[in-house]
Structure 1
Amino acid sequence: MRGADMAAWDEFDRPSYERPIEGLKRVARYQRWLIAVVLAQLALWAGFIALTILGRGREPDMQFPVVLTLILGAVGGIFVFLLSWELRGAFAALVFGLATVVPCMGLLILTMVSGYATTELRKHGVKVGVFGASFAAIDERPSLYDDEDAGW
């Protein structure tokens, strides 16, 4: 697997590759949705545990949190698939998307793919905060091709 096949595989990993602004904005958008899903799952289960502790004598009803977890997992799986497709390609998107279905491992996959997005955005000079990158940070980033002293 040499030549053109290999070039297509590691195109995004080359140091000189500059991802288009539209691609960076897609990565930032998908990452923000992933972070929202992770926070929603954490809030859901923290609230469920708190309500279970406060209602000491009663049996907790598991139907609502389980259904909501499945819905959040499906939404997270979609955004993991889209983000992985953008960053790593079709095979990684399929593997990571299917891995989010596994209970407890899904949250780990969501966090890991969000970390991949952070690395990619920072590699292209975008400032990434706790809740991801904003579109303004993408527009204001220094570009490899913005050299005013290029000799033209």
Structure 2
Amino acid sequence: MAAWDDPDWPGARSADGLKRIARYQRWLIAVVLAQLALWLGFIALTLLNSGRAPGIDFPGVLTLILGGVGGVFVFLLAWELRGAFAAVVFGLATLVPCIGLIVLTLVNGYASTELRKHGVKVGVFGAGLADIDSRESLYDDEDAGW
């Protein structure tokens, strides 16, 4: 058992709590990538259509839907990391254009920091659930004791 799993250690999180954080973070990253793909596709279609923009209705509605889904995952992640008040503030802040992207990035950074603090390896697309179970323990060194 690692020191960060010790219930007496301040700031300790259970493996289930870390798995929730990793899951929410992955969904948050997926929402950001979906929005990025949507708007890059819209720009590409505009350029291929000789500068005439196709209808903005579909990308606009899809952006609102993805923004709502992102807001939900920001809320869940902030609730897990910072508490109820921060979850409400961050969740509502995602509704503001341009500020929402900053909030998504900020909460994603909080999640990465928390996972790394507990010995979980975090990559570009977040941490895998298997990485939480296979993280190193302070008690795994066979040459360290008796």
Uncovered stretches (5+) of structure 2, i.e. residues with no partner: 1-8
Aligned residues: 138
Superposed displacement of residue 112, structure 1: 1.1
User: Match of 1:55?
Assistant: 49
C-alpha contact (below 8 Å) 2:45/2:53 kept by paired residues = no
Matches within 5 A, 1:100-119: 100-119=94-113
User: Match of 1:26?
Assistant: 20
Cα deviations across residues 37-93 of structure 1 (Å, max 9, x unaligned)?
Answer: 000000000010010011015342110000000000000000000000000000000
Aligned-partner Cα distance in 2 for 1:142–1:101: 39
2:57 corresponds to 1:73: no
Letter in 2 for 1:53: L
Percent identity over the alignment? 74
Question: Judging changes above 3 Å, is the alpha-carbon distance between structure 1 residues 48 and 128 closer, same or farther for their aligned structure 2 residues?
Answer: same
Uncovered stretches (5+) of structure 1, i.e. residues with no partner: 1-14
- 108-117 or 124-133, larger mean C-alpha shift: 108-117
Using CA pairs below 8 Å that are at least 6 residues apart, which structure has the higher relative contact order? 2
C-alpha contact (below 8 Å) 1:34/1:79 kept by paired residues = yes
Matches within 5 A, 1:3-152: 16-56=10-50, 58-143=52-137
User: Match of 1:7?
Assistant: none
CA RMSD of aligned residues (A): 2.1
Superposed displacement of residue 31, structure 1: 0.0
Aligned-partner Cα distance in 1 for 2:44–2:51: 14
Question: Judging changes above 3 Å, is the alpha-carbon distance between structure 1 residues 17 and 53 closer, same or farther for their aligned structure 2 residues?
Answer: same
Letter in 2 for 1:79: F
